Amino acid sequence: MASKNRILVPGARQALDQLKADVMQAQGYDVDKSAPNNVKFEIAEELGIPLSKGYNGKLTSEQAGKIGGSIGGNMVKEMVRMAQEQMAKK
């Protein structure tokens, strides 16, 4: 099932995928740069959460949040770090 999340700037998808791949690689995950979303399966396995391709309606909100939170949380931390670095240059 395709993600229903939409980004505000459609042309930013490639840059966001690259950021996700870079951040998760820095966290020690094996990321396929052509399919960075697949890192969620590695995280789910590490957490003992039964995530599979396709429908995952039996997952609890807590389980889904643990998977997505570790990805998104690390991406946000990196974006804040990048913004602080840019502000310090000005």
pLDDT band at 3 (very low <50, low <70, confident <90, very high): low
Identify whether 19 is part of a domain. Answer: no
Is the pLDDT higher at 45 or at 4? 45
The verdict on residue 34 lying in a domain is: yes
Query: What pLDDT is attached to residue 1?
Result: 47
For residue 54, what are its two tokens? 């396709």
Examine residue 16 and state whether it is found in any structural domain, yes or no: no
Question: Can you say how many angstroms the Cα of residue 2 is from the centroid of all Cα atoms in its chain?
Answer: 15
Under a CB-based contact definition with an 8 Å cutoff, are residues 55 and 1 in contact? Answer: yes
The answer to the question of residue 68 being in a domain is yes
**Residue 48 in domain:** yes
Residue 61, domain extent: 26-89
- Establish if 21 belongs to a structural domain: no
Q: How many distinct structural domains can be found in the chain?
A: 1
Residue count of the chain: 90
